[in-house]
Amino acid sequence: MRDVLPWREQVPLDGTMGEPRARGRFGEYGGRYAPESLVEACREVEEAFREAWVDPGFRGALARLLAVHAGRPTPLTPARRLSEALGVQLYLKREDLTHTGSHKINNVLGQALLAARMGRRRLIAETGAGQHGVATATAAALLGLEATVFMGERDVERQALNVFRMRMLGAEVVPVTTGSRTLKDATSEAMRHWVGATGDSHYCLGSVVGPDPYPWMVREFQRVIGDEARGQCAAELRTGVPDYAVACVGGGSNAAGTFAGFADTPARLVGVEAEGGAGATRGRLGVMHGCRSLFLQDDDGQITQAHSIAAGLDYPGVGPEHAHLRDLGRARYVTVTDDEAVGAAVRLARTEGIVPALESAHALAWVIRAAGGGDLPAGSTVLMTLSGRGDKDVSTMKELL
Ligand X SMILES: *Cc1c(COP(=O)(O)O)cnc(C)c1O
Question: 283, 366, 272, 363: which is closest to 323 by C-alpha?
Answer: 283
Output DSSP code: residue 179.
T
Q: Which residues bind ligand X (CB under 6 A)?
A: 102, 104, 131, 207, 248-254, 312-313, 357, 359-360, 387-388
Closest approach, Cβ 375 to ligand X, in A, equals 22
Nearer to ligand X among residue 89 and residue 187 (C-beta): 187
138: closest CA among 200, 48, 70? 70
Q: Taking the complex as a whole, how short is the minimal distance between the CB of residue 383 and ligand X, in angstroms? A: 16
Q: How far is the CB of 235 from ligand X (least distance, A)?
A: 25
Strands 317-318 and 291-295, how do they pair?
Answer: antiparallel
Residue 173: which residues within 8 A CB-CB, separation 6 or more? 133, 149, 151, 156, 163, 166, 167
* C-alpha span between 316 and 115 (Å, rounded): 28
In the complex, the smallest distance separating the C-beta of residue 40 from ligand X, rounded to whole angstroms, is 26
Q: Which residues are catalytic?
A: 104, 126, 387
Q: Which is nearer to ligand X, 230 or 362 (CB)?
A: 362
Contact status, residue 95 vs residue 74, Cβ threshold 8 Å: yes
Cβ closest to ligand X, residue 76 vs residue 361: 361
Of the pair 138, 253, the CB lying nearest ligand X is at: 253
Whether the Cβ atoms of residue 282 and residue 259 lie closer than 8 Å to each other: no
* Residues near 323 by beta carbon (within 8 Å), at least 6 away in sequence: 26, 27, 29, 280, 283, 293, 294
Q: Identify the burial level of 25 via C-beta atoms within 10 angstroms of its C-beta, where 0-12 means exposed, 13-18 middle and 19 or more buried.
A: middle
With respect to ligand X, which residue has the nearer C-beta, 242 or 250? 250
Q: What angle do CA 88, 349, 382 make, to 5 degrees?
A: 25
Q: How far is the CB of 361 from ligand X (least distance, A)?
A: 9
